[in-house]
Structure 1
Amino acid sequence: MARGAALPPDRRLPVPQGGRTVVAKGPRTVHLGRMRRSRRTGTWQLLCAAFAASAVLYGAIVGGQIEQLFNAAVTGAERAVVAMGFGVKRVMVEGQKNATDAAITTALAAGPETLMLAFDTDAAKERLEAVPWIRHAQVMRLLPSTLQVVIEERDPYAMWQNKGQTFVVDDEGVVLAPALPQAFPELPLVVGEGAAKHAAELYEILAPYTDLKNRMLAALRVGDRRWTLKLRTGTEIMLPDGNVEMALDSLEKLQADRGVFERDIAAIDMRLLDRITLRMRETTAAAADEVAPASAPTSATGAVKKPDGRT
C-alpha cells in the first residue's frame, strides 16, 4: 500500500483467537479552519468581557461607589473598634492658663466616636499651635482611650490700643485676644501702629528708670519710629528716634535737679539731641501773665540746659 493512501472503508483486521471483531472505520476529516475560528471567537469574548468589567469598575470609581463602599467598610470597622473601648473618652491638658476649653477642644477635633489608633497627633499639634494663646503643643495617645495634651502658652506682655480697639499682646507683638476691661490691669498700655511689635524693646530700655515707669500711663508710638511717654499727670515726654538711653539719663538728672515731673508741664520735648524744651500748660502760662509785672517777660516754653551745659 502506498504511503499516505487511505485504508479501505471496511477492512477487517485480524481478530485474536477468542476475541471479537473490530471494524476499522475510515479516517475522520478535521476542519482546522473551523477550529481556529472557534478559538478566535473565545478570545474576543474574553476581551469583551474584560473590557465590560473594566468599564463597570471605572464607572463605579468615577461615581464614587467604590470609595463609598470602602468608607462604609472602614467606618464599620472603626465603630467596632470604638465599641471595644478604643474611642477617645478622656482628654488631659497640662499648661493651660488663658487658652479657653472651647479653643482647645475645637483644635483637637476629637470625640467619643474618634478612633484612638487612627487619630493624627501631628495634625492636632498644628491646629493647637494655630490658637493665638498657644506657643507650643504636644499631643500623645494613652491607650486605650485618653489623649494627653501639653501646651506652652504665650505670656501676656502689654495692652495694645490701635484704631479704637484694644488687644492683649505678647512680647513679640502677637495678638492673643481682645482685651477685656480689667482683665490685665498690671500690663502697660502701648498705643499706635507698630507699638505692639516694639513694646518689649521700649520696656527693656525703661527697666532701670523705675521712677519714670511708675509714673507712666501709656507709651504712644509716633510714625512707627519713636515714642512719646504719657505720664499720669498728663505730661508728655517726647523721646528721640535714637539715643533713647542718653535722653532718659538727661531726663532723670532734670527730675533730680528741678522736679519736672511734679511741675505743671504739658510736654518735655527731647527730640533734639542738644536741648530739652519744656512747654508749660496754657492755664499756668496765663496765670503767670496775670501775676508777673509788665516789664517781666513770660513764656509758655523754655529751653533747659543739657547735663553738658548746653541749652
Structure 2
Amino acid sequence: MQSIGSVRGEARKRRSPDALLKRGIAVPRRSSRGLPMLAGARNLIARSPRSVRLGKLGRDRVRGKWLLVCVLFLASALLYGAWIGGQTGRLVDTLGGGIEKLAVAAGFGVKRVTVDGQLHTTDAEITAALHAGPDTMMLGYDTDAAKARLEAVPWIKHAQVMRLLPSTLQVVIEERVPYAIWQSHGQTYVVDAEGVTLAPALREAYPELPLVVGDGAPKAAPALYQALMPYGDLKQKMIAAIRVGDRRWTLKLASGLEVMLPDDNVDEALASLTKLDAEKALLKRNIASVDLRLLDRVTVRLRDDPDGSPPTAEAAQETPTSSTKTPGKGKT
C-alpha cells in the first residue's frame, strides 16, 4: 500500500522543472520574490576606485627644491642673527642702498632740476634745500620733505616739487615780495609785508622801498603805510618811520622835522596835521618836531639853531638809527 506522502513527493518530482524539461515541456520562468526588475535594465557593476600613483620628481626639481629651502634657511638665519646682534637697521639700510644703486644705474637718478618763479633766491639756497644729486634715486625721493625745506628759505613763500621720470625734478616757487627796508642796531635788511626778514640789504639797493627803524617795525609797517595812503604829500617828504617802544611811530621828514604820532587814532592825528599844514604851512616852518600824541592839542618844538636857519641837506637826509631819541616837549 502506497502512502500519500510518497505519491505527493513523486508527483512533485514529475512536476519539477528538470523533469518537465526532460519531457520537452516548456517551463514558465518564475519571478523572483524580491524587488521587481525593470525590463531591459542593465546590470550595474560596482568597481572599486583606482588608485593614482604619482610619478617621482626628477633630479633637477628635487635639487631646486632643496636649494630654495637652503636659501630660505640662510636668509632666516641671517635676519635672526642681525636681530639678536642689534644690526637689523644696518642690514635694512644695506639692502636699501643696494636697490638704490641699481635704480640709479638703470637711469632713475636725479640728472636735471628745473626751477620756475626764481627771482631773488640763489641757486645755492635751492640746491641745498633739495638735497638731490646724481646719486639720488628718483623713485624714493621725498617731495614733501623737499617742499618743507624750500619753504624754510626766507625768500620762498610757497614751493612745489614734482618728479618727472626718469631723471628730472621740477620745482615751482612763489617768492615773497620786498615791502620795506628795516634798520636795526646799525644793520639793514629787506622785509616783506608780513614782517619776515628776507636778507641783509643795502638801502641803496631798494631806493623805492620805505625805511622803517626800530624793534617791531617790520610787522607794524603795513598798518602805518595803509593809514598814510591818503596823504601823498606827507609820504613824499618822509625819509623814515621810527618805531618807538613797539607802541607808536615817529615820522622823520627830509627837512629834519619829526612828527610824533599817538599809539592809536593815527588817522585822526594825520588829519589834524594836514589841516594845520594847509592853514599855517606848519611843515615849512623852522620847527624841530610836532607832537600829536594828545588829540586835544598839538605841541611844537622850535629848532635849537642860533640863526634859525633850516638844516643842511646832508644833515636832513642823514639815515636815522634805532637808537634815535624822541625829542621832548618844547614851546607850544
Superposition TM-score, scaled by structure 1 size: 0.72
Q: Within 1, Cα distance between the matches of 2:181 and 2:265? A: 25
Per-residue deviation, 1:228: 0.3
1:251 aligns to what? 273
Deviation string for 1:230-262 (max 9, x for gaps)?
Answer: 001111000111211111111111222222222
Alpha-carbon offset, residue 272 of structure 1: 1.0
Distance (whole Å) between structure 2 residues aligned to residue 181 and residue 62 of structure 1: 64
Task: Answer yes or no: is 1:167 the counterpart of 2:189.
Answer: yes
Corresponding residue for residue 11 of structure 2: none
The total of aligned residue pairs comes to: 239
**Closer, same or farther in 2 for the Cα pair 1:286/1:128, shift >3 Å?**
closer
2:275 is paired with a residue of what secondary structure?
helix
* Matching residue within 265, 269, 281 for 2:303: 281
Q: Which residue in 2 is equivalent to 1:129?
A: 151
Q: 2:204 is paired with a residue of what secondary structure?
A: coil
Partner-residue secondary structure (3-state), 2:173: strand
Q: How far off its partner does 1:58 sit?
A: 5.4
Q: Alignment partner for residue 262 of structure 1, among 274, 284, 290?
A: 284
Q: Specify which of 157, 163, 173 is matched with residue 151 of structure 1.
A: 173
Q: Which amino acid aligns with 1:109?
A: H
SS at match of 1:119: coil
CA distance in 1, matches of 2:256, 2:122: 37
Per-residue deviation at 1:167?
Answer: 1.4
Alignment correspondent of 2:225:
203
Change (3 A) 1:276 1:181: closer
The aligned residue for residue 178 of structure 1 is: 200
The answer to whether the 8 Å contact 2:181/2:203 transfers is no
Q: Distance in 2 between matches of 1:57 and 1:78?
A: 21
Q: Aligned equivalents of 1:232 and 1:181: distance in 2? A: 16
Shift of 1:64: 5.2
Give the whole-Å Cα distance in 1 for the aligned partners of 2:224 and 2:172: 32
Distance (Å, rounded) in 1 between the aligned partners of 2:179 and 2:258? 23
- State the match for 2:313 in structure 1: none
Q: Distance in 1 between matches of 2:251 and 2:306?
A: 21
**2:82–2:91 Cα contact (<8 Å) kept:** no
Q: Distance in 2 between matches of 1:63 and 1:230?
A: 72
Counterpart in the other structure of 1:233: 255
Q: Relative to structure 2, which stretch is displaced further, 148-157 or 61-70?
A: 61-70
SS at match of 2:259: strand
Which residue number in structure 1 is paired with residue 130 of structure 2?
A: 108
Residues 286 and 308 of structure 2 are in contact (CA less than 8 Å); yes or no, is this contact kept in structure 1? Answer: no
Question: Deviation of residue 162 (structure 1)?
Answer: 1.6
Q: Give the structure with higher Rg (CA).
A: 2
CA contact (8 A) 2:252 2:258 kept: yes
C-alpha change, 1:171 and 1:128, in structure 2 (3 Å) is: same
Match of 1:218 among 240, 243, 249: 240
Distance 1:253 1:286, change over 3 A: closer
**Post-superposition offset of 1:98:** 0.9
SS of alignment partner, residue 249 of structure 1 = helix
Change in Cα spacing, 1:138 to 1:57, as seen in structure 2 (3 Å) is: closer
Shift of 1:62: 5.7
Asked whether the equivalents of residues 264 and 284 of structure 1 are also in contact (C-alpha less than 8 Å), the reply is: no
* Alpha carbons 2:156, 2:173 under 8 Å: kept: yes
Give a deviation string over 1:127-148, Cα, whole Å, max 9, x none. Answer: 1111111111111011111111
Greater relative contact order structure (CA < 8 Å, 6+ sep)? 2
Deviation at 1:181, TM superposition (A): 4.8
Q: Deviations over 1:144-166 (max 9, x none)?
A: 11111111111111111122222
Q: Aligned residues: percent identity?
A: 62
Gaps of 5+ in 1: 1-49, 288-299, 304-311
- Give the letter aligned to residue 271 of structure 1: R
Deviations 1:141-199 (A, max 9, x none): 11111111111111111111122222111111111111235221211111111111100
Counterpart secondary structure, 1:278: strand
SS in 2 for 1:125: helix
